[in-house]
Amino acid sequence: MIAPVARFTERKAQMRIDAHDPVERFYIVGPHVECVAQVAQGEKFTLRTLDASGNQFRADSSYDQIDRSRIFPVTGPVSIADAEVGDGIGIGISSIQMDPIGHCWTRPGLGLANPGWFAVKALRTDGETISIADDDVHPVQLTPHVGSLGVLPTGSVRGADLGSHGGNLDVPFLSVGSMIWLPVRVPGAGVFAGDVHAAMGDGEISGTGIEVGAEITLAATSLTDWEIAHPIVMHDDCAWVIGIGGSVEGALAKVLPTLIMAVKGKTGETDEQAYLLVSLLLKLKICQVVNSQVSIAVTLGAGFDRQLAPSGAWNVFNDFRANLSRD
C-alpha cells in the first residue's frame, strides 16, 4: 500500500459547486457524466445540494403537482486530480451547513407498508433539537448526515440508487468528521453528493428522513493498490462495512466474507473458526429498508475493525480528523 503524498489543504477561494445551476446537478450517474470541476488531492471543495425532492415537497404541496423527473438530484461530479482507476478514494466530510427548514414526507409507492399516503411535515433544523409537535415535549435530536455520497460507476444508474460506488446509502453517521472509502472506477473518480438529512430514524421507513438543502464541504485523497469490494465508512475510531442487498440478510451475507477475512488476518484462524468469531464480534445497524436495495452498516468489536481497511487508509483518516480539529 502506497500512502498518499497529498495532505488536506484549502484554497483561499474554495471550489463551490451549486445544484441550483442545472449544469451542476444531475439524476443519472455513470461514466458518461462530465465532471464540472477538478480539485487537488486533499483540497476542500463545497457542494450545494437540493433536498431529495428537488425542493418540491412542501407542506402545501399536492401530489399531482410533483415533477417526478426532478426527484433526487445530486450535485457534481468533481474530479480528483491523480485519482486513477483501481485506486481506493477516501472522501471526508468537513462541514454540513443546512437550510433552516427541512421536510419529512412519504408518497404512494414509497416507504415500508405505506398504503398509498401522501404526507409532508415541515420542521425547523436550525436548533440543537427538532420539535416534532407544538408542545415541544418530544424533540428529535439533530443528527446531520449525507444520505448520498459517491463516485461515478462504470455503468449508468439513477442518482437514487446505491452500490459499490456509494450513492444513496443513507448511513446515519456519514457526518462531519466521517470518511467514506470507495473504489475509483473512472479517471478522477467523479465525486457527487445529495440527499442531506437533518435527522433520520433507523430504516428510514417512510422513505425519508428530514430532507434538507445544504452545503457540504468535502476533501478526498486516493490510495493505490487497494481494491475495495464494499463501501467502508470510518466514523470516530471505528470502520464500518456497508452491506447492500435485497434484504437485511442478503446484505449481511454479501459482506460476511470481508468480515471473515478481517478476523483471519488478525488471528490466523481457519475460515470456519473465523466465522465463529465473527458471530461473537459482529455489530450491525440498519441504515434503510426502502430504497432499490437495503443498506446496512456492520463492524467488528474488540478492535478487529482495524483489519477492515489498510494502515494507509487509517493514516489518511487520522490526518483528515487532525486537520479538521485545527480548523
Do 229 and 241 sit in the same domain of this protein? no
Do 190 and 130 sit in the same domain of this protein? yes
Provide the residue range defining the domain that includes 242: 237-309
Q: Is residue 136 included in any domain, yes or no? A: yes
Do 125 and 226 sit in the same domain of this protein? yes
Do 102 and 154 sit in the same domain of this protein? yes
Over residues 259-308, the pLDDT tens digits come to 999 999 999 999 999 999 999 999 999 999 999 899 999 999 999 999 99
Q: Where among 211, 234, 257 does a domain terminate? A: 234
Question: Burial level of 2, CB count in 10 A (0-12/13-18/19+)?
Answer: exposed
How many domains does the chain contain in total?
A: 2
Q: Is the pLDDT of residue 221 over 50?
A: yes
Cell match 472506477: residue?
185
**Separation CA 62–CA 130 (nearest Å):** 25
Do 97 and 181 sit in the same domain of this protein? yes
pLDDT of residue 292: 87
Q: Is residue 317 included in any domain, yes or no? A: no
This model's pTM is above 0.85: yes
Over residues 76-96, the pLDDT tens digits come to 999 999 999 999 999 999 999
Q: Is the pLDDT of residue 2 over 50?
A: no
pLDDT above 70 as % of the chain: 94
CATH code at position 125: 2.60.120.580
Do 118 and 206 sit in the same domain of this protein? yes
**Separation CA 258–CA 107 (nearest Å):** 37
Q: Where among 234, 254, 269 does a domain terminate? A: 234
Q: Where among 200, 234, 268 does a domain terminate? A: 234
Do 223 and 261 sit in the same domain of this protein? no
Tell which residue, 178, 182, 208, has the closest CA to residue 96: 178
Do 217 and 187 sit in the same domain of this protein? yes
Do 161 and 257 sit in the same domain of this protein? no
Sign of CA dihedral 157, 159, 164, 168: negative
Over residues 4-18, the pLDDT tens digits come to 444 455 544 588 999
Do 202 and 71 sit in the same domain of this protein? yes
Over residues 44-59, the pLDDT tens digits come to 999 999 999 999 999 9
* 241 to 83, 287, 309: CA distances (angstroms): 22, 12, 10
